[in-house]
């Protein structure tokens, strides 16, 4: 079973990953000083812990998008 975050999005939604990332980018940087969401995305390709962290952050983004509010 794949654990990358796109599979956890509602397949019926038209959620754009770029849009979802924009909803969490600032919060991620605030919680992880000196690191970017892009850093996490690169590490997620080879680290199951980082895949899980990215999946969790993207779930937050999807929830924010579903509520129609960025934060």
Instruction: List pLDDT tens digits, range 26-63.
Output: 999 999 999 999 999 999 999 999 999 999 999 999 99
Question: What confidence tier does 68 reach under pLDDT thresholds 50, 70, 90?
Answer: confident
Extents of the domains making up the chain: 15-67
pLDDT on residue 69: 60
Distance CA 42, CA 24 (A): 16
Residue 6 has pLDDT above 70, yes or no: no
> How far, in Å, CA of 41 to CA of 68, rounded?
24
- Does the pLDDT of residue 1 top 90, yes or no? no
Round to whole Å and give the CA distance between 2 and 31. Answer: 26
pLDDT of residue 52: 98
DSSP code of residue 46? T
Of 42, 40, 34, which is closest to residue 61 (Cα–Cα)?
Answer: 40
Rounded distance between C-alpha atoms, residue 60 and residue 54, angstroms: 10
> Is residue 65 scored above 90 in pLDDT?
yes
């Amino acid at each position: 079973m794949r654990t990358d975050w796109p599979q956890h999005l509602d397949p019926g939604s038209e959620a754009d990953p770029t849009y979802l990332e924009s909803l969490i980018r600032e919060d991620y940087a605030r919680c992880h000083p000196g690191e970017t969401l892009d850093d996490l995305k690169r590490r997620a390709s080879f680290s199951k812990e980082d895949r899980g962290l990215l999946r969790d952050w993207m779930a937050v983004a999807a929830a924010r998008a579903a509520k129609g509010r960025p934060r």
